Amino acid sequence: MTGDVRGDLRRLPWYVAIGLGFLAAAVLALRVVGLVVAVVVTTAERLDVAAATAAGIRPLGASTWLLPADMTVPDLFPRGDDQ
């Protein structure tokens, strides 16, 4: 193994190289499908929160935390001479 991927693949039997290519394509396809599912779920949760807030009820999304609009955000990185 020299570190050159193309050279390493050329040393493999053709059927192993083709099998690795199909495996890589399958993994890539699964990652793309996972990304699409994550986008769809996130969009659905955001729509749920928007509709529920507009209707004046609590949203159904279990991973959703509504914060009050007047809540102050703590300064996690204060600027000053004490650091």
The answer on pLDDT for 81 being more than 80 is no
Q: Is it the case that residue 1 has pLDDT exceeding 60? A: no
pLDDT at 72: 81
Buried b (16+ CB within 10 A) or exposed e, 15-42: eeeeeeeeeeeeeeeeeeeeeeeeeeee
Contact 39, 47 (CB under 8 A): no
Q: Is the pLDDT of residue 4 over 60?
A: yes
Which pTM value belongs to this model? 0.57
Give the helix/strand (H/E) hosting 32.
helix 14-55
What tokens does 76 get? 């996690």
Q: Return the higher-pLDDT residue of 42 and 37.
A: 37
CA-based torsion, 63, 67, 69, 74: positive or negative:
negative
